[in-house]
Amino acid sequence: MSQVPIWFERRFEFSFRVELYPNLCARLRGTPARLEETLRGRPREILIRKAQEKWSAQEHAGHLLDLETLWLARVEDYVAGSGELSVTDLQNRKTDEANYNARPLDQILSEFRAARERLLKRVGELDAPLFGRAIPHPRLKTRMRLVDHLYFVAEHDDHHLARMWELVNGVGAISAF
């Protein structure tokens, strides 16, 4: 059984100081390397193995790539002072329909790295006071500062990295997304 908590059951407390945003950017900057380290060099049959109709490790990587457009859109929500953060497809149809198991792993990894660089470049262009701006999150029904959004993204990355690690190392059974 997976030791990774179910994502949609997670609760978040955003009580840390806004000034921690450089630390969160450093954490986000490290995700492509951690993703590559987790998946590169693994046999293809392990990367694409699905059990109980849940995502394979490679599909989890594709899901991280899919969400980069959402993360960037939400950064733009902060810049624009939107009334609510952009919503996402909670069914994850984009990932389910993308057929990531048929794609080369290196393509997914390089596209993710490029997308994450775009996100961090945009965040790096912002003035420090913007990191304290709060906007309601559509699913969590709580106000999130931009710095909280970055934390949320980092936690989402780590959730999927932990699940991929379990999958490629044969740890645990497939759990619910």
Which backbone phi and psi does 111 adopt, to 5 degrees?
-65, -40
Is pLDDT of 175 > 50? no
Q: Specify the amino acid at residue 6.
A: I
Query: Which is more confident, 37 or 171?
Result: 37
Domains and CATH numbers, the chain: 7-168 (1.20.120.450)
Q: What is the reported pTM?
A: 0.91
Is pLDDT of 15 > 90? no
CA distance 101 to 49: 9
CA distance 91 to 113: 24
> What interhelical angle do 57-80 and 21-39 show, nearest 10?
160
23 — pLDDT class (breaks 50, 70, 90): very high
Q: Scanning the structure block, which residue is given the tokens 């624009």?
A: 80
Which backbone phi and psi does 37 adopt, to 5 degrees?
-65, -35
Q: Scanning the structure block, which residue is given the tokens 């991280």?
A: 64
Q: Evaluate the CA torsion angle 59, 61, 118, 121 in order and state its sign.
A: positive
CA distance 111 to 118: 11
Per-residue pLDDT tens for 91-136?
789 998 999 999 999 999 999 999 999 999 999 999 999 999 999 9
